[in-house]
């Protein structure tokens, strides 16, 4: 029998023998699966006994009408008689509307049943066909299967202005230039990396597309109406989320409100099993949602065909971003290896590690800390050179240009996909109001005591003022919580450092810095992971309060709020280490204190860049491994298991249960699709890690690349197997901008600028010899404040009179002891100058890249223009044909039958369009 659940099937030819058993001949050299039209014709060739559509739950019980959408609801009593109609027992409407104080649980359930009856009645009024199943294998759950007949599909497709390929095709002749030959050669080399999912239609042949219209059905191929609209398009048309309901005083419009009030428990389209598009899902499982094909390109066209343009564009962007990370990773690895190769030649670290180095440093904390030798910081200094070397500047400039190249490349890729998927001009179409918005408008209209309702009401700023004020207060409160937690981690580092210095274990005292840095970074990671979930829920709640008018506005506001909260959550600890730590310390004898007892922490002698690298690496790797990967696949599986247990189906007989359950019952246990905002947001944060602080962590692109290779396949498997099929959407938007913070990191966090200033202004021989001594100031230990001096002044075996600390200040024997020296102002001026020059150079080079690379490929712009000309020519010929028919057959009059005018589908015109 026909079985499309086998994910191993990839491509080949389809046939069936005398026993009517379907065979799929796997042949790597053969053409891929036939188009949905051919598959649909093959399924229709089977006898009714072999047609298992209804058994799989994809069709009504008659085996003919397809299930386009499913609603589920809670039954008062598990089981019950199977009903194929949506009629419900009559309910006393007056009781429901009055809402008596003594309303019981049963009356509450009756109220839900009444609202379901009202809602389903509205769906029938709009032409949809419904079938109920209250005798499913899932106790306590009822299903409402929705089917859209042909006339409803045509009406809604015209209303939604869907672009549909016409019968007419045109040929794009490829020019034979040098660039095309190189491109053809590269394409042949990369052919093994392409999935085997191309269509039979040649790449240089494209159908003319036009907005669907019932008056122009003769332009489209209607030879098989069952396959004209694929499952993705049918679900987007039938979805009650897009159906505008008629108003009723006691009926919340829209399925979203009904889901929120518990009238329905779920709403989703079905995954394909054995329908006309059933080739998609097994092929996606094998060629996309499979870790063994990680090296291949994604079948973006198939993803778009199954999930819609919005999800297809997201994965296209993710794939391009991952490809662009390959050169960035290579350069980052080279920079890191350069640091490893030159660490033994680095003069500052050699001076610190020299065995004759007798520089005595001031205590790192009050009382419990003692004097220490600079040579003990040898390991930190050598490690800092791996990430803080002259190649870092080059890498920062490279990454700034990389970001510009990536954005320009994506614009061109997006325009090409828009053309291939017939999305050009879609952004100009009007987006329809959300059901929640219209319900609020209805409430506003009903609250006004006016007889005339001709005036169109809308929500203004005054109506949204409470929501706006709540948004502002909550956003500031959440950002304040982030700052408070960062401040708490600072206090943890200060107090833990003092406690570890008091330890009697020498090993503990010798590894105080590493212990404190690592544990603090882990604490920050745990807090970030927790707050990310909290902030995501808060952002959605605040967006719902605003009641945006359209889905586009809702998503834009949700992404903005989520990004602001998660950006502060992820980057506040990193920004503190990069730009504030070590600069609010004070000096020995005059330190800055918090709560009069906690001394502000300072950077190690090698600077804060090493600690910034530790914080960035732990945060980035932790978010990617734990949050982006483990949670994404683990949480849906856990929720799925909980649904199984709650449904009393058991938890350890999944294979047998899957064979017995219908498709709509199996999909009920899957995780609901929550939108692309979480997926998109994690990539935005990762993009910030890669571009903003890459100067401190050159290996960030490499870790991002490795994560994304897994992320693509993990997300693909999640979408195909773990989530309910989302309703296809065409709206899309991306907010990534070219950002670079490397100039500030290099100037104020690393020692690159102080080294350059010393070498070219203060070095006696033009080398780095003496740089360490130049950056250290002197302090007389007798100038310590009372009660702040160390308790163990003889820790080094002798009494210390002068200790050193990292700063540019005058010595105690000068006329202005401990005042900021002129070297400090020189270094500061050079830092600011470097930031200005660096940013302007990067901006200039980015503008040059923008100018050199046009946003729209030239061939695409020419094809769009010529396609418009061909459409005009097509309409002219159609009009002339109609006139000719009317003149030759005047007795027929009116329109010809749609099906008769479309029988001649083989006489398809092919236009030749030179490039």
Domain spans of the chain, in order of start:
59-76+104-299, 311-445+458-645+675-749+836-852, 754-828
Task: With H, G, I as helix, E, B as strand and everything else as coil, classify residue 409.
Answer: helix
What is the C-alpha to C-alpha distance for residues 248 and 251, in angstroms, rounded to an integer? Answer: 5
Average pLDDT over residues 690-708: 87
Say yes or no to pLDDT of 908 above 80: no
Average pLDDT taken over every residue of the chain: 77
Residue written as token pair 């209607």? 222
pLDDT digits (tens, 9 = 90+) for 781-795: 999 888 888 888 888
Q: Which of 28-42, 650-664, 899-913 has the highest mean pLDDT?
A: 650-664
Q: Which residues contact 242 (CB under 8 A, 6 or more apart)?
A: 156, 160, 236, 432, 727
Residue in the block written with tokens 């009660």: 787
Beta bridge partners of 163: 211
- Kindly give the pairing relationship between strand 163-173 and strand 129-133: unpaired
Q: Contact 773/780 with Cβ under 8 angstroms?
A: no
Tell me the C-alpha distance between 441 and 434, whole Å.
11
Mean pLDDT of 318-324: 94
Quick count: other Cβ atoms within 10 Å of Cβ 801?
A: 9
- Mean pLDDT across 198-227: 78
Tokens of 674: 């929550």
Q: Is the pLDDT of residue 893 over 50?
A: no
pLDDT band at 733 (very low <50, low <70, confident <90, very high): low
% of the chain with per-residue pLDDT over 70: 77
Report residue 273's pLDDT band, with 50, 70 and 90 as the boundaries: low
- Token pair 């300072």 in the structure block, residue: 602
Q: What angle do CA 607, 609, 610 make, to 5 degrees?
A: 95
pLDDT at 49 (0 to 100): 35
Q: What length is written for the chain?
A: 915
Going by C-alpha positions, the residue among 606, 247, 602, 676 that lies closest to residue 453 is: 247
Check residues 381 and 250 and name the one with the higher pLDDT.
381
**Does the pLDDT of residue 635 top 80, yes or no?**
no
Least confident of 11-15, 203-207, 309-313, 631-635: 11-15
pLDDT digits (tens, 9 = 90+) for 440-456: 777 777 766 554 455 55
- pLDDT tens, position by position, 274-305: 444 455 788 888 889 888 888 889 999 889 98
Specify the higher pLDDT residue, 76 or 279: 76
Q: Please, which pLDDT band fits residue 825 given cuts at 50, 70 and 90? A: very high
Segment holding 171, helix H or strand E: strand 163-173
| Composition of the chain by helix, strand, coil, percent to 5 | 55, 10, 35
- What is this structure's pTM? 0.81
The CA–CA distances, whole Å, from 680 to 297, 677, 713 equal 20, 5, 15
Confidence tier at 55 by pLDDT (50, 70, 90): low
Predicted pLDDT of residue 658: 53
Q: Residue 387: CB partners within 8 Å, gap ≥ 6?
A: 336, 339, 609, 610, 613, 696, 697, 698
Whether the per-residue pLDDT at 479 is higher than 90: the answer is: yes
- Which positions ≥6 away from 294 have C-beta within 8 Å? 709, 710, 712, 713
Q: Confidence band (pLDDT; 50, 70, 90) for 574?
A: confident
3-state secondary structure (DSSP) of residue 239: coil
Question: What gap in Å lies between CA 688 and CA 199, rounded to an integer?
Answer: 38
Higher per-residue pLDDT: 909 or 580: 580
Q: Which DSSP state fits 298? A: P
β-partners of residue 592 are none
Banded pLDDT at 86 (limits 50, 70, 90): very low
Q: Look at 73-82, 439-448, 645-654, 712-721 and tell me which has the smallest mean pLDDT.
A: 645-654
Q: What mean pLDDT comes out for the span 306-322?
A: 91
| CA 164 to chain CA mean position, Å | 28
Asked whether 141 and 132 are in contact (CB, 8 A), the reply is no
Does the pLDDT value for residue 778 go beyond 90? yes
In degrees and rounded to multiples of 5, residue 172 shows phi and psi of: -100, 110
More confident residue, 201 or 160: 160
Give, for 776, the enclosing helix (H) or strand (E): strand 776-780
Average pLDDT of span 474-497: 90
| Tokens read off for 540 | 């959605």
Task: Give the pLDDT confidence of 722-732 residue by residue, as tens digits.
Answer: 888 988 877 66
Rounded average pLDDT over 125-137: 86
Distance CA 802, CA 812 (A): 10
Q: Which residue has the tokens 């098989």?
A: 224
Given a cut of 90, is residue 324 above it in pLDDT?
yes
Helix (H, G, I), strand (E, B) or coil at 114: helix
Q: Hey, which residues does 16 pair with through a beta bridge?
A: 22
For residue 160, name the pLDDT band (cuts at 50, 70, 90).
confident
Q: Is the pLDDT of residue 175 over 80?
A: no
């Amino acid at each position: 029998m026909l079985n499309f659940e086998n994910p191993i099937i990839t491509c080949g030819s389809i046939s069936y023998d005398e026993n009517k058993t379907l065979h799929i001949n796997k042949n790597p050299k053969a053409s891929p699966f036939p188009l949905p039209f051919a598959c649909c014709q093959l399924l229709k060739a089977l006898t009714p006994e072999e047609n298992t559509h209804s058994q799989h739950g994809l069709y009504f019980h008659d085996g003919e009408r397809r299930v386009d959408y499913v609603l589920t609801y809670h039954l008062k009593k598990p089981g019950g008689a199977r009903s194929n109609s949506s009629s419900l027992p009559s309910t006393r409407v007056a009781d429901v509307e009055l809402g008596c104080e003594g309303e019981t649980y049963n009356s509450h359930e009756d109220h839900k049943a009444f609202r379901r009856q009202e809602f389903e009645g509205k769906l029938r009024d709009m032409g949809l066909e419904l079938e109920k199943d209250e005798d499913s294998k899932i106790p306590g759950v009822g299903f409402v299967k929705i089917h859209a007949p042909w006339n409803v599909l045509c009406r809604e497709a015209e209303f939604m202005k869907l672009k549909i390929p016409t019968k007419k095709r045109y040929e794009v002749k490829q020019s034979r230039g040098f660039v095309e030959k190189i491109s053809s050669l590269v394409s042949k080399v990369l052919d093994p990396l392409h999935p085997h999912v191309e269509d039979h239609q040649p790449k240089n042949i494209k159908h003319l597309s036009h907005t669907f219209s019932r008056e122009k059905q003769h332009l489209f191929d209607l030879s098989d109406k069952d396959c004209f609209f694929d499952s993705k398009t049918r679900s987007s048309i039938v979805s009650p989320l897009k159906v505008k309901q008629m108003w009723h005083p006691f009926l919340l419009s829209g399925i979203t409100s009904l889901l929120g009030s518990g009238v329905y428990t779920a709403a989703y389209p079905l995954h394909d099993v054995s329908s006309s598009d059933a080739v998609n899902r097994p092929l996606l499982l094998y060629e996309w949602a499979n870790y063994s094909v990680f090296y291949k390109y994604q079948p973006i066209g198939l993803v778009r065909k199954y999930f819609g343009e919005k999800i297809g564009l997201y994965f296209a962007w993710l794939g391009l971003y991952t490809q662009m990370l390959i050169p960035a990773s290579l350069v980052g690895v080279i920079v890191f290896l350069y640091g490893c190769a030159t660490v033994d030649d680095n003069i500052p670290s050699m001076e610190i590690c020299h065995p004759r180095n007798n520089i005595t440093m001031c205590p790192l904390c009050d009382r419990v800390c003692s004097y220490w030798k600079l040579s003990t910081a040898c390991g930190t200094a050598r490690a800092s050179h791996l990430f803080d070397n002259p190649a870092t500047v080059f890498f920062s400039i490279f990454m700034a240009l990389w970001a510009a190249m990536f954005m320009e490349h994506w614009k061109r890729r997006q325009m090409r996909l828009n053309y291939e998927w017939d999305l050009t001009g879609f952004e100009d179409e009007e987006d329809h109001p959300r059901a929640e918005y219209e319900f609020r408008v209805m409430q506003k209209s009903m609250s006004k005591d006016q007889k005339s309702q001709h005036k169109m009401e809308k929500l203004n700023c005054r109506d949204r003022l409470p929501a706006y004020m709540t948004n502002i207060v909550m956003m500031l409160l959440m950002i304040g919580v982030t700052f408070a937690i960062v401040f708490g981690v600072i206090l943890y580092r200060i107090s833990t450092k003092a406690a570890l210095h008091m330890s009697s274990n020498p090993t503990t005292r010798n590894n105080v810095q590493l212990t404190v840095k690592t544990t603090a970074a882990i604490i920050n990671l745990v807090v970030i992971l927790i707050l990310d979930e909290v902030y995501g829920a808060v952002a959605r709640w605040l967006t719902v309060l605003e009641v945006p008018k359209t889905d586009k506005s809702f998503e834009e506001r949700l992404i903005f709020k989520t990004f602001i909260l998660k950006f502060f959550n992820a980057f506040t600890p990193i920004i503190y280490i990069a730009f504030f730590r070590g600069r609010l310390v004070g000096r020995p004898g005059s330190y800055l204190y918090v709560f009069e007892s906690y001394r502000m922490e300072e950077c190690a002698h090698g600077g804060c860049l090493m600690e910034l690298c530790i914080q960035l690496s732990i945060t980035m790797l932790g978010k990617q491994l734990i949050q982006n990967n483990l949670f994404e696949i683990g949480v849906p599986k856990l929720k799925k298991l909980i649904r199984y247990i709650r449904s009393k189906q058991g938890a350890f007989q999944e294979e047998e249960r899957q064979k017995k359950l219908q498709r709509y019952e199996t999909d009920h246990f899957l995780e609901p699709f929550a939108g692309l905002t979480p997926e998109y947001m994690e990539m935005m944060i990762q993009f910030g890690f890669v571009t903003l602080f890459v100067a401190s962590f050159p290996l960030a692109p490499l870790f991002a690349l490795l994560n994304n290779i897994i992320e693509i396949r993990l997300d693909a498997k999640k979408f195909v197997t773990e989530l309910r099929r989302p309703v296809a959407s065409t709206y899309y938007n991306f907010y990534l901008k070219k950002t670079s913070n490397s100039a500030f990191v290099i100037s104020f966090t690393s020692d690159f600028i102080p080294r350059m200033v010393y070498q070219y202004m203060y070095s006696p021989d033009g080398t780095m010899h003496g740089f360490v001594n130049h950056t250290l100031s002197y302090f007389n230990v007798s100038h310590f404040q009372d009660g702040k001096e160390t308790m163990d002044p003889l820790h080094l075996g002798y009494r210390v009179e002068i200790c050193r600390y990292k700063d540019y200040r005058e010595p105690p024997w000068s006329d202005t002891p401990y005042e900021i020296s002129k070297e400090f102002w020189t270094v500061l001026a050079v830092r600011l100058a470097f930031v200005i020059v660096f940013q302007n150079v990067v901006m200039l080079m980015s503008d040059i890249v923008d100018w050199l690379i046009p946003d729209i490929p030239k061939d695409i712009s020419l094809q769009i223009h010529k396609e418009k000309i061909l459409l005009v020519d097509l309409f002219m010929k159609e009009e002339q044909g109609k006139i000719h028919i009317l003149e030759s057959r005047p007795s027929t009059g009116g329109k010809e039958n749609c099906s008769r005018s479309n029988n001649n589908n083989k006489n398809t015109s092919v236009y030749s369009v030179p490039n």
